[in-house]
Amino acid sequence: MARVAYRSADVDLMARMMRAEAEGEGKQGMLYVGNVIVNRAIADCIDFIDVRNIEDVIFQIQGGNYSFEAVQKGNVFYQRARESERRLARQNLEYWREHPAKYSLWYFNPYAPCPPSWYDQPFTGQFKLHCFYEPLPGTCDSVYMG
């Protein structure tokens, strides 16, 4: 059973986002970004109460801006998803989750060492240039369920 319900259009959209956000970090980096996307669709807490599917996650607006830089800048749409990215997106949607993004709801590239917390959320680890953060214990139990 899939971690979250999805359509083929969601696979393409997610694959494009993964490529735009982490192509330079290889397949593993793109899988970590995909993990955060799926986690946000599963999470029913904090900033993600009204986000229930992949499209909602990708186009979510927080603080007057899109949540993901690739949507803000428009580069999520520069390239079509390749089959290799679609395969990675399907892996995330079906079953794949791994540390440091296993339960992460946030990531960013600080262009410096990763801070120990980000908006009070604890640091879980780093992969190449991205730092990953998961919710404080007890604040988002739903992310651990999916």
Q: What is the CATH number of the domain that holds 122?
A: 1.10.10.2520
State mean pLDDT over 62-88: 90
Query: To the nearest whole number, what is the mean pLDDT of the chain?
Result: 95
Q: What angle do CA 55, 24, 29 make, to 5 degrees?
A: 60
Average pLDDT value for residue range 108-122: 95
- Look up the pTM and report it: 0.96
Residue 1 lies in a domain: no
**Could you say which DSSP state residue 111 is in?**
S
Give kind and range of the element (H or E) at residue 66: strand 65-66
Is residue 3 included in any domain, yes or no?
A: no
Note whether residue 2 is domain-resident: no
CA distance 66 to 59: 6
pLDDT at 76 over 80: no
Count of the separate structural domains present in the chain: 1
Whether 30 is in a domain gets the answer: yes
**Range of the structural domain that residue 116 is part of:** 8-144
Quote the pLDDT of residue 75.
Answer: 78
Please indicate, yes or no, if residue 87 is contained in any of the structural domains. Answer: yes
d(CA 86, CA 101): 19
In a domain, 107, yes or no: yes
| Range of weakest confidence among 43-47, 71-75, 84-88, 94-98 | 71-75
State CA 49 to chain mean position distance.
Answer: 16
Confidence tier at 79 by pLDDT (50, 70, 90): confident
pLDDT tens for each residue of 29-59: 999 999 999 999 999 999 999 999 999 999 9
**Does residue 49 sit within a domain?**
yes
DSSP category for residue 81: P
Question: Kind and range of the H or E element at 39?
Answer: helix 26-42
Residue 111 lies in a domain: yes
